[in-house]
Structure 1
Amino acid sequence: MKWLLALLLAGSAHAQTLNYIGQQIVPTSASFRGVPVGGLSSIDYVPATGRYLAICDDRSDRAPARYYELSLDLSKFRRSANPGEAGVAWVNMTSILDLDGQPFGRNQVDPESLRLDARRNLIYWANEGQRVSSSLQNPTVRRMSPDGKPAGEFPVPGYYNPLGSAGGITPGDVGVYNNLAFESIAITPDGKTLWTMSENGLAQDSLPTAVGRGSRARMLSFDLDSGKAGAEYIYDVGPVPFPPARQGDFATNGVPDMLALSAHEFIVIERAFAVGAVTPGIAALTKQPTSNTIKLYLIDTRGATDVSGWASIKGREVVPVKRTMLLDLSSLKNDDGSVLALDNIEGITFGPTLDGKRTLILVSDNNFNPAQFTQFIALTIDGTLN
């Protein structure tokens, strides 16, 4: 089944059609080399091998911080509510080491995204940091070699670092909110620039998302040759689209990953969750209702205000990046007519060419929760993306 999207690419409008190939689901009970498989917070395709890299957001709890190498056989993906896991193969698992070359201790890191720079033979990865009463940890963006050894760190501006109360909503608080910091890494096709984004705004900029309220996230760039921070823009995250079943229960919306199309255009995931919310995919699951809403947006930084060096945007006139919704994944259906039930989608990458068409691959983070699953979703793109 096909879904028409209007993508504004290279300054002109091109009609692009996405074709839902299917999905594969790996249960949370799965393991590899004696370690539970899960927590996949990003995915990146490696054309040279035809395989994928996926970082795990385990805080060195179940095993040391790590990333996986895996393969996906898209011919075995199915438009089915129960597709199985055929075609998903785990190839390797590599520990991520700290700046001293040692495995991270428990709760000392929160790996959330990675991208391979094949030209420089480096992997860039984001650590979300932490803002809780027991620990304030700064968000970081780092380099490592493919064997997990450290290769340096990018200089994140100090106003991202959490200071003040754990909640981040007390007057004078600054920095990222807990669990709403760097979850994305994107490399522009020219190989010159790395981008990351806070999942929601900074404490000094805006409140976190809620039902009826969005948040002003920051996009931050780094020059890959010099390593220095560069342009910085504001991305307006949408409000939580569905209320939780009970007032006061947890609900959020944020940006878990993005994919660069050009120097100024990106596909962004907005991933919303509300406890017990009745969402379009609710009837498609048999174990328990899904409360996730996943949308893809096209964004364009041209014309946006460069806020680099601004410790706060509050009270200042700011033009955000242009944001256009491409696809609500709840509109996708399986062959039996059931709505595609969505788990916690957090990663996006271009995949291989299939029948002359480029593919788009998404992956979910199961949070190591038995009621969730690791979900791979594959789409083909009719047309050419940058």
Structure 2
Amino acid sequence: MKSLARCAAIAALSLIALPGVAQTLSYLGQQIVPTSAMFRGVPVGGLSSIDYVPATGRYLAICDDRSDLAPARFYELSLDLSQFRRSATPGEAGVSWVNMTTILDLDGKPFARNRVDPESLRLDTKRNLIYWSNEGARTSGGMQNPTVRRMHPDGRPAGEFPVPAYYNPSGSAGGLAAGDMGVYNNLAFESIAITPDSKTLWTIVENGLAQDSPPTAVGRGSRTRMLAFDLDTGKAGAEYVYEVGPVPFPPARAGDFATNGVPDMLALSDHEFILIERAYAVGAATPGVAALTRQPTSNTIKLYLVDTRGATDVAGWPTLKGRDVVPVKRTLLLDLSSLKNDDGSVLAVDNIEGLTFGPMFEGKRTLILASDNNFNPAQFTQFIALVIDGPLP
């Protein structure tokens, strides 16, 4: 059998030559864990974020279960990249579940049902703390503010960052009425990134705030905000506008659900980031067909390079309306629908929500992506490994 390094070289995809970023990304392989998988008597899934821990060679992955199937939690797992395959049915060899930790609220207790929506986490090795985001809620049943918090590696709380008040949902449940403010439901803080110097934490709203921009749709993007926090003082800092692209494929039936948003980001420097744009449209005819279900995956996953230099700092602006704003620079790095398996089939991508640097593999750095299966039998937990060919910042 061909070595994985040779397969990766064959699959290399040329990128736009940009200073300080990788010149190519190669598809190393994938592994898929079925939704029926269990760990310690709890269904495995809902992986909304993943972070590599070099000291252990393992990964942390937060689960976005709202304390429904089990208390809010994150997993520790290992991935053996030598067992990843460029196959539509790769199996799950090399994926091992190591530990599961309950996330505790500010009172040190497990979250009650539907009182939290964990979406992202990053380990700060300098301070031995985990930062994580809670998306909050905007529903007819009530409003919950989005939060960014710290916790100890054992899940105990270690404080909360002061999110500006204009992110908090108020007004109608839909967020589209006059005077509505704050995040849309299920479109808030899905990401956490820590700069390499461990000085700054960044998060981004998946779509715009109600007072800034409507949510994405077919033919319509959304103006969302990147928000920084100083890790020494905990105070909110710079804010920049990121323009999320329109939904690229229409749903199978007009009026069915369709969205595009930013579920995760990775800091390359104090001003450069890699972001995921993850689009979904019910029954959309996207290129990939999942071998597990023989159905279109209905997802479109793209990686973008973002550079904040020259962008307008909108910190403290309750609304963007009527203001001149220069957004951050956004450049396409990779459309995952361009990746193919060894048999020529297009890589079918599920609901990719997690992104992290991985370990070195045969002398090159890797990027690891993870999917959130929504605990839906028609979906799957997917890990995709990409090889970085070229210089990094």
Q: TM-score range by the shorter chain?
A: over 0.9
Give 1:237 deviation, angstroms: 0.1
* Paired position in structure 2 for 1:212: 219
SS in structure 2 of the partner of residue 196 of structure 1: strand
8 Å CA contact retained: 1:9, 1:265: no
Mapping for residues 1-386 of structure 1, pairs under 5 Å: 1-6=11-16, 8-10=18-20, 16-282=23-289, 286-386=293-393
Kindly provide the CA deviation profile for residues 216-274 of structure 1, in whole angstroms up to 9, marking residues without a partner as x: 01000000000000000000000000000000000000000000000000000000000
8 Å CA contact retained: 1:127, 1:141: yes
CA distance in 1 between partners of 2:295 and 2:287 (Å): 13
CA distance in 1 between partners of 2:51 and 2:258 (Å): 28
Kindly provide the CA deviation profile for residues 81-111 of structure 1, in whole angstroms up to 9, marking residues without a partner as x: 0000000000000000000000000000000
8 Å CA contact retained: 2:22, 2:388: no
Kindly provide the CA deviation profile for residues 299-354 of structure 1, in whole angstroms up to 9, marking residues without a partner as x: 00000000000000011100000000000000000000000001000000000001
8 Å CA contact retained: 1:284, 1:338: no
TM-score (norm 1): 0.98
CA distance in 1 between partners of 2:137 and 2:263 (Å): 16
CA distance in 1 between partners of 2:385 and 2:140 (Å): 40
CA distance in 1 between partners of 2:148 and 2:190 (Å): 10
8 Å CA contact retained: 1:6, 1:15: no
8 Å CA contact retained: 1:20, 1:380: yes
Once the two structures are overlaid, the 10-residue window that deviates more, 31-40 or 285-294, is 285-294
Once the two structures are overlaid, the 10-residue window that deviates more, 203-212 or 285-294, is 285-294
CA distance in 2 between partners of 1:212 and 1:158 (Å): 30
SS in structure 2 of the partner of residue 151 of structure 1: strand
Once the two structures are overlaid, the 10-residue window that deviates more, 275-284 or 359-368, is 275-284
8 Å CA contact retained: 1:26, 1:84: yes
CA distance in 1 between partners of 2:77 and 2:293 (Å): 28
State the identity as a percent: 82
CA distance in 1 between partners of 2:273 and 2:191 (Å): 12
CA distance in 2 between partners of 1:7 and 1:249 (Å): 38
User: Aligned letter for 2:13?
Assistant: W
Give 1:15 deviation, angstroms: 5.8
SS in structure 1 of the partner of residue 170 of structure 2: coil
8 Å CA contact retained: 1:214, 1:238: yes
Unaligned runs of 5+ in 2: 1-10
Hey, which bits of structure 1, 4+ residues long, moved more than 2 A?
6-10, 282-288
CA distance in 2 between partners of 1:33 and 1:249 (Å): 37
- Computed over aligned residues only, the root mean square deviation of the Cα atoms, in angstroms, reads 1.0
User: Aligned letter for 1:4?
Assistant: S
8 Å CA contact retained: 1:285, 1:341: no
Give 1:286 deviation, angstroms: 3.9
User: Aligned letter for 1:21?
Assistant: L
8 Å CA contact retained: 2:176, 2:214: yes
Kindly provide the CA deviation profile for residues 105-144 of structure 1, in whole angstroms up to 9, marking residues without a partner as x: 0000000000000110000000000000001000000000
Give 1:282 deviation, angstroms: 3.2
8 Å CA contact retained: 1:128, 1:140: yes
User: Aligned letter for 2:207?
Assistant: N
CA distance in 1 between partners of 2:364 and 2:294 (Å): 35
Count, aligned residues: 383
Q: Quickly say closer, same or farther: Cα 1:9–1:223, change in 2 above 3 A.
A: farther
TM-score (norm 2): 0.96
8 Å CA contact retained: 2:293, 2:378: no
SS in structure 1 of the partner of residue 386 of structure 2: strand
Unaligned runs of 5+ in 1: none
